[in-house]
């Protein structure tokens, strides 16, 4: 069985490496070939186009920036993935995607005898490298079970949720909760700053109190140290996109999303201030401007 991988960025690259390490004959394609060089060095082969990759592979994993890139890669009439895939093959899309886009493209795939399963992931680049990602999968159950061994090369927590689109919905909800929490925590830390508390000590209290959430320690350690990455990190742009999609989902199903709207507004403000390319926690900077204070301090051992 040949396994294809399209998109070898921060997440796709270590995922593809783990597939190669698991012994699968792997073919890769990405916009910039140098981003896949380590995978090729590990034993994978290169395809010049998505279509060429599809012609060789039984199952393909895509890890792309967003809905537009996903749709373009799959449906381009000349070099798109669907132009190359044979009937009976399958696609697992790990992009944080729009349920509307996924369902539309899945119908096109079905008309060509191809199964599309939306399979967004969680766990960050650390989880991708360790092979411990969480997969949230929507689509044909039999196809999910058939390719479980490949998924197990990349993930530890593998969930099948139901029909196509349900994986995307689950991922958007987890993003909604997680990144609204970041804005809420920033407001709390700024309250501490304005109140004159030692933020290094407050940082240590949060994970052992009601203020705990999974991302607090890594994110706020970087904020306290004023480390917001570089203009190429791209985190604010990514989370702004995810929260926009999460709010759209809530709107579509008639659920309240006032926290999501407020949080999205902060990420959008960070983008407007030229911070879109920086690490996602750079979204706290507009809040700091509003407060007239900064979240910075020494973390004492």
Catalytic residues: 171
> CA 24: distance to chain centroid?
24
What are the structure tokens assigned to 29, written together? 């394609």
Inter-residue contact 131 to 153 (CB < 8 Å)? yes
Residue 159, classed as helix, strand or coil, is: strand
249 φ/ψ angles, rounded to the nearest 5 degrees: -65, -45
Helix (H, G, I), strand (E, B) or coil at 73: helix
Report the b/e string of 47-82 with b at 16+ CB within 10 A. bebbbbbbbbbbbbbbbbbbbebbbebbeeeebbbb
Nearest to 273 by CA among 258, 296, 290: 290
Per-residue buried b or exposed e for 147-168, using 16+ beta carbons within 10 Å of the residue's own CB: beebbebbbeebebbeebbbbb
CA angle 28, 153, 140 (to 5 degrees): 85
CA 116/CA 263 separation, integer angstroms:
32
Instruction: Quote the tokens at residue 52.
Output: 């060429």
* CA-wise closest residue to 242 among 291, 280, 200: 280
């Amino acid at each position: 069985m040949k396994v294809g991988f399209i998109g070898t960025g921060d997440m796709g690259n270590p995922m593809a490496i783990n597939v190669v390490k698991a012994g699968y004959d792997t073919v890769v394609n990405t916009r910039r070939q140098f981003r896949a060089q380590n995978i090729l060095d590990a034993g994978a082969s290169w395809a010049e186009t998505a279509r060429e990759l599809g012609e060789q592979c039984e199952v393909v994993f895509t890890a792309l920036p967003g809905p537009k890139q996903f749709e373009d890669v799959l449906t381009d009439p000349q070099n798109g993935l669907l132009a190359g895939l044979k009937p009976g093959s399958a696609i697992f899309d790990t992009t944080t995607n729009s349920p509307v886009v996924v369902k539309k493209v899945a119908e096109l795939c079905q008309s060509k005898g191809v199964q599309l399963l939306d399979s967004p992931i969680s766990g960050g680049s650390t989880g991708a490298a360790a092979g411990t990602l969480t997969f949230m999968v929507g689509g044909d159950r039999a196809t999910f079970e058939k390719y479980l061994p490949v998924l197990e090369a990349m993930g530890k927590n593998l969930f099948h949720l139901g029909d196509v689109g349900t994986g995307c919905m689950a991922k958007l909800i987890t993003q909604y909760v997680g990144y609204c929490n970041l804005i809420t925590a920033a407001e709390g830390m700024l309250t501490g700053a304005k109140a004159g508390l030692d933020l290094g000590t407050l940082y240590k209290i949060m994970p052992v109190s009601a203020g705990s959430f999974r991302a607090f320690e890594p994110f706020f350690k970087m904020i306290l140290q004023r480390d917001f990455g570089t203009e190429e990190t791209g985190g604010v742009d990514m989370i702004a996109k995810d929260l926009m999609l999460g709010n759209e989902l809530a709107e579509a199903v008639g659920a309240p999303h006032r926290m999501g709207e407020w949080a999205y507004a902060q990420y959008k403000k960070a983008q407007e201030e030229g911070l879109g390319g920086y690490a996602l926690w750079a979204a706290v900077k507009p809040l700091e401007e509003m407060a007239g204070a900064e979240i910075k301090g020494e973390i004492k051992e």
